[in-house]
Chains A and B, each alone.
Chain A
């Protein structure tokens, strides 16, 4: 079974600074996808960024980027120029490529990100 580990229950960063959230996962599969989701206090889970395991290039979305290390099974999220609106729970998730079927995601336990003004 796949597992996802987020070792930082809580992180705090000053506004405008950079913060990195850690995620490691365990799988024996070679085709899979990794996601970072954000859940603000309003509770709506929002996709931040996704990475296909077959791509060596790290995904980026504006101020959000990942450091994907497939051999180390590591998938960290870097948030640059942190803003107050970035305060939320961040979940790392793993999705197996199932080639035509459906499969649920496996989530980590989350990291609570606090932005200090």
Chain B
């Protein structure tokens, strides 16, 4: 079974803090994704990566950056957290043969609260 893990289930940070959300997958997947989930809005794509050190902006990249130094790990970075970044963050990975035909497997999510 594919396993995608996220470093924290719940996180509380202060406005202006630098925040790191970590995601690790154990199936040698090429592609990794970060989504944000808000009630009534569904999931929205923040960033994705199709290879080590490669990244692409998604639909809502503003205020976020990412890092992928190793194939299995994909980090989401909030350089200066703001209250409007309070949300559920979901990481996903997919095998990488081609885009949409790959099923994405999701982690359990991190509930981030910015005070």
A contact residues vs B (CB 8 Å cutoff): 4, 6, 9, 32-33, 35, 37, 42-47, 50, 52, 91, 93-110
Contact yes or no, A91 B43, CB < 8 A? yes
Q: A-B pairs with the 9 shortest C-beta distances?
A: A95-B100, A98-B99, A104-B45, A45-B106, A102-B50, A103-B99, A102-B31, A107-B42, A107-B43
Asked whether B50 lies within 8 Å of A101 as measured between CB atoms, the reply is yes
Say how far A112's CB is from chain B's closest CB, in angstroms: 10
The answer on a CB contact under 8 Å between A102 and B42 is no
Do A95 and B43 contact each other (CB < 8 Å), given the known contacts A102-B96, A104-B58?
A: no
- Please tell me if B22 contacts chain A, counting CB pairs below 8 Å: no
Pairwise interchain contact B99-A99, C-beta atoms closer than 8 A: yes
Contact partners of B59 in chain A: CB under 8 A? 104
Residues of A within 8 A of B96 (CB): 102
Interface residue total, chain B, C-beta cutoff 8 A: 34
CB-CB contacts below 8 Å: B96-112 with A? 96-109
Task: Decide if B88 touches A43 in the complex (CB within 8 Å).
Answer: yes
Which residues in B have their C-beta under 8 angstroms from that of A42?
108
Chain A's closest residue to B45 (CB) is A104
- How far in angstroms is the closest Cβ of chain A from B91? 10
With contact pairs A43-B108, A109-B40 given, residues A104 and B103 touching in the complex (Cβ less than 8 Å): no
> Restricting to B67-115, which residues have a CB under 8 Å from any CB of A?
88, 90, 92, 94, 96-109
* Complex CA–CA separation, A15 to B90 (angstroms): 30
How many angstroms between the C-alpha atoms of A47 and B93 in the bound complex? 13
When distances are taken between beta carbons in the complex, the residues of chain A under 8 Å from B44 are 107
Which residue in chain A gives the minimum CB-CB distance to B111?
Answer: A43
Of chain A, the residue at the smallest CB distance from B30 is A102
Closest B residue by C-beta to A45: B106
